[in-house]
C-alpha cells in the first residue's frame, strides 16, 4: 500500500488515523510537499487529477482519492474495528458529521482556495486568516449543537470511535493551525480530547509526522 501524504494535510491525517485504528502500516509513504506546490507536479497530477492528498494505491490499478472514500474502503477491506455504526440512522448521523467537516468546512480553507484568494483577490495574510477562522467557527458552531444530542457519548456517536471522530480530530488540528479558540465549543472539545487519548489519533497527528515543525 502506498500513501501520498504531507505532515500538515488534515485530509491525510484522517486516513492515517483510520489506518492506525485498523493496524495498517503503508509499505511506502510518498511526500507531496504542499508548501512547495508539489500537488501540481505532472507526476502527482497523474495520480490524482484533483491535485490533492491523500491518495492511496492498494495493489494494482488507479489510486484511490478523497479521504472519506479511502476510509470507507479501508473499513470494508479491514472491518475491525468498524468505523460506522450498524443501524441506518446511526450511519447517516455519523456520515453527516463527517461530511460537515470534510465536505462543507475543510474545502474552504485548503491551500488552493487560500492561494486563489491571495492571487486573484489580493487577500493579505490577515484577511486569509480571518476567512479561515470564519469558516472554522461556522463548522464548530454547528458541530457544537449537533454534539449536544443524546446520541453523543464518550465519542461523537455513542462510545465507539467512528469516522465522525476522525473528522472531528482533523477539524480540531485545523483550528489550532488557524488559531481558533476551542473554549466556546466544550462538547466538541470533550469528544476530541477523548479521541486524543487514543494512540491511533495521537500518533497520526500532523505535528508528529516527519517534516513537521518541532
Ligand X SMILES: N[C@@H](CCC(=O)N[C@@H](CS)C(=O)NCC(=O)O)C(=O)O
Binding residues (CB under 6 A) for ligand X: these are 9-11, 34, 39, 51-54, 66-68, 102, 107, 110-112
Complex with ligand X: residue 33 or 77, whichever CB lies closer: 33
Long-range Cβ pairs for the range 117-120 (8 Å, 24+): none
DSSP 3-state assignment of 100?
helix
User: In the chain, what is the straight-line distance between the N-terminal and C-terminal CA atoms, in Å?
Assistant: 28
- In angstroms, what is the minimal distance from the CB of 4 to ligand X? 9
Cα separation of 162 and 139, whole Å? 19
Complex with ligand X: residue 14 or 157, whichever CB lies closer: 14
Complex with ligand X: residue 67 or 162, whichever CB lies closer: 67
Complex with ligand X: residue 107 or 153, whichever CB lies closer: 107
Tell me the CA distances in angstroms from 67 to 9, 71, 81, 99, 106, one per residue in order. 11, 6, 18, 10, 12
- In angstroms, what is the minimal distance from the CB of 38 to ligand X? 10
C-alpha cell at 116: 486563489
- In angstroms, what is the minimal distance from the CB of 101 to ligand X? 9
- In angstroms, what is the minimal distance from the CB of 67 to ligand X? 3
- In angstroms, what is the minimal distance from the CB of 190 to ligand X? 24
Cα separation of 115 and 105, whole Å? 17
Cα separation of 22 and 28, whole Å? 17
Amino acid at each position: 500500500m502506498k500513501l501520498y501524504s504531507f505532515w500538515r494535510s488534515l485530509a491525510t491525517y484522517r486516513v492515517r488515523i483510520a489506518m492506525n485504528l485498523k493496524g495498517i502500516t503503508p509499505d511506502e509513504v510518498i511526500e507531496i510537499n504542499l508548501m512547495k506546490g508539489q500537488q501540481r507536479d505532472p507526476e502527482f497530477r497523474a495520480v490524482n487529477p484533483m491535485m490533492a492528498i491523500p491518495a492511496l494505491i492498494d495493489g494494482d490499478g488507479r489510486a484511490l482519492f478523497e479521504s472519506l472514500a479511502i476510509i470507507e474502503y479501508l473499513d470494508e477491506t479491514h472491518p475491525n474495528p468498524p468505523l460506522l455504526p450498524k443501524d441506518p440512522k446511526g450511519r447517516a448521523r455519523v456520515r453527516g458529521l463527517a461530511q460537515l467537516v470534510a465536505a462543507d468546512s475543510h474545502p474552504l480553507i485548503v491551500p488552493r482556495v487560500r492561494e486563489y484568494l491571495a492571487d486573484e483577490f489580493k487577500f493579505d495574510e490577515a484577511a486569509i486568516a480571518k476567512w479561515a477562522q470564519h469558516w472554522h467557527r461556522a463548522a464548530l458552531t454547528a458541530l457544537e449543537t449537533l454534539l449536544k444530542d443524546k446520541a453523543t457519548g464518550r465519542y461523537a456517536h455513542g462510545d465507539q470511535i467512528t469516522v465522525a471522530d476522525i473528522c472531528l480530530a482533523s477539524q480540531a488540528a485545523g483550528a489550532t493551525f488557524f488559531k481558533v479558540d476551542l473554549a466556546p465549543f466544550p462538547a466538541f472539545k470533550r469528544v476530541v480530547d477523548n479521541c486524543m487519548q487514543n494512540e491511533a489519533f495521537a500518533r497520526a497527528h500532523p505535528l508528529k509526522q516527519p517534516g513537521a515543525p518541532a
